Structure formats: C-alpha cells, structure tokens
Amino acid sequence: MNEFELIAKLSPTLATNDQVVRGAGDDCAVLDLGMKDQLILFKTDAVVEDIHFTKDIPAEKVGRKALARVLSDIAAAAGKPSSCLVTVGLPKNFDPDYVFSFYKGLNALAREHEISVSGGETTRTTGPIFVSIALVGTVPRNRVITRAGAKIGDAIFVSGELGDSISGKHLDFEPRLKEAQWLAENFSVHAMMDLSDGIAGDLRHILNASSVGADLFSESIPITRSAKLKAKFESSAKPPLLAALTDGEDYELIFTLSPKDAVAVLDGWKANFPKTKLSCIGKIVSQPGLRLRDKLGIRELPKHGYAHFEKS
C-alpha cells in the first residue's frame, strides 16, 4: 500500500466538526473559528534526513527549505502566513551547531515574511533527523481558493520556469506569497496549487478535484536553462520538456482563471513581478484526463509511470 492509497482509505474516517471549511486533501486546511472577515489556514510539512535532505546540505539551507515548503502551501491558498512551530527530532549525540545553523536559515526566512517562530520542541530520536513545521495563517473569508474550482474554458497559468530544481533551486526557491496575494486581490482565481511533484502529477489534483480535464500547449511550458543544459550535455538526462512536466520541487504556482482575464493577468504580472515569468500553458476542457498538444498532434499524459511517456 503506498502513501496515496493509505490517505485515500484514511481520509473518510477522520473526525470533523463544523469549523472545517476545507479538510484533508487540499494544500492547507481552512478553518472557520468565528473571525469576522478571515478564515484560518493551517498546514504542517515534514522533512526527513536521507529522504528529503542529506548531511552534505548545509543546515542553514535545510532550515530555510523546511519553512519555505510550508509557506509555498500558504501561497497556494493565497493566504498570509502568521506563525509557525518547529519540531526537530535529534539523535542523542546531536551537533548543537547543526541545530543553530538550521534555525538561522529558518529564522531568516521567517523574518523576510514577517512571521513568528512561536515555539515548538526538540525531541530525541534513535533514527535520522526529522523536522516538522506547523503553520497558521489567514485568508479573507470571501477569497478561499482551492483545487476544486477550475472551470471548463479556463486558461491555465504557471509561474517561473520548471525542471531540474534538484540542481539547486529546491533549496533556494522563493515561496510565491506576494504573487499569490496579488492574484487573489486582483482576479477571480478559480483553482490554484503549488507544484511539488511536477505539472504532470499535480495538475491532475486540480482536474480530479474540479471534475474536468486539460490540454497543455507543449511549446508554452516554461523550461529552466538548467534543464535544457542538462539535456544537452548529459546523455542520461530527461528531455527538457519531460523534466519540466515531471520533475518535483519546483514550488511554482499553477492556477486557472477565466480566459477573459488572461491578457490582464499576464500584463499585470509583468508590471508587478518583472523578474518572474508567467506562462499560459493550456486550457481546462470537459474531457477528463491530461493531454499535451504539440506540432505533431495531441497525446495523453499517462496517469502512472512517466517512463512510458518518455519512451513514447
């Protein structure tokens, strides 16, 4: 049984109450605790040594990334982060300097986004170091954006450039908080999430939650220079388009809105965030599934096994 199957079996059994606006299955939980104009966003994210990071990555970068991953989820909800709690599992003979460096990176990013580190705990483990960050934030009551709102005919956008994040960007990415807030303030965003597992995997969450399909325009997928170079010089590397579609940890925003807003969002974005690309990469259609359109025609992106796709 894999993680997705486990979660699918567990989700319907979870305790709930009338304060839950969105529970398990979206980027953040959304809670109504009785604030007049705001709802609470609530999210946790864990990273584990040897799974998500290795000893050779500087602790400062591990700390920064641990927090950045959660902030990216708050961005996906166009929310404003407020406060986090930090849990660190440490072996008996831990190196205090490692922990101080970890917190240095985490605190610096927290200060950048004016959020507090309001406590947490260190605990002992007999295994690898693990970190879990819990975060609360807020979102205006009338502005909840989830994965479930994509409409047929919507234009699909993605921020930044995709692919080969593992070469470095996954440690230094900027959570798209400002961009997401600007989007939500100025446009009716129908569905949004952050890309952690690649378009080919993540967009499917939006499609499933919204009961729609999508056609992507092959030539509009923004590909990083790094993914292009890698494909050129490493014979074993993925083709750059495949890297952009299937590589994880891009932490860019993917969102949909009405095609009548498409030009305005592209123009406004360029004026407000001139250093960050915004690309219209496809459209929402009624036919279920995810397809890629290029000069040669249109083909299905298979649900599982991107190796299949690679060979096709």
Q: Which residues are near a second copy by CB under 8 A?
A: 1, 3, 6-7, 9-10, 13-17, 19-20, 22-26, 29, 31, 33-36, 38, 40, 42-48, 50-52, 82-83, 85, 87, 89, 96, 99-100, 103-104, 107, 110-111, 114-128, 130, 132, 134, 136, 138
Nearer to a second copy, 93 or 236 (CB): 93
Nearer to a second copy, 38 or 220 (CB): 38
Q: How far is the CB of 129 from a second copy (least distance, A)?
A: 9
Q: How far is the CB of 11 from a second copy (least distance, A)?
A: 8
Nearer to a second copy, 18 or 234 (CB): 18
Q: How far is the CB of 234 from a second copy (least distance, A)?
A: 27
Q: How far is the CB of 155 from a second copy (least distance, A)?
A: 29
Q: Six-digit token pair at 252?
A: 């860019």
Nearer to a second copy, 181 or 224 (CB): 181
Q: Six-digit token pair at 120?
A: 């947490």
Q: Calculate the CA dihedral of residues 173, 177, 179, 181 and round it to 10 degrees.
A: 170
Q: Calculate the CA dihedral of residues 197, 199, 201, 203 and round it to 10 degrees.
A: 120
Cβ proximity of 290 and 162 under 8 Å:
no
Q: How far is the CB of 156 from a second copy (least distance, A)?
A: 25
Nearer to a second copy, 25 or 289 (CB): 25
Angle at 147 between CA 141 and CA 151, to 5 degrees: 100
Nearer to a second copy, 47 or 285 (CB): 47
Nearer to a second copy, 21 or 229 (CB): 21
φ and ψ of 74, to 5 deg: -65, -40
Q: How far is the CB of 34 from a second copy (least distance, A)?
A: 7
Q: How far is the CB of 119 from a second copy (least distance, A)?
A: 4
Nearer to a second copy, 87 or 258 (CB): 87
Cβ proximity of 157 and 282 under 8 Å:
no
Nearer to a second copy, 33 or 271 (CB): 33
Q: How far is the CB of 219 from a second copy (least distance, A)?
A: 35
Q: How far is the CB of 193 from a second copy (least distance, A)?
A: 14
Distance CA 131, CA 45 (A): 8
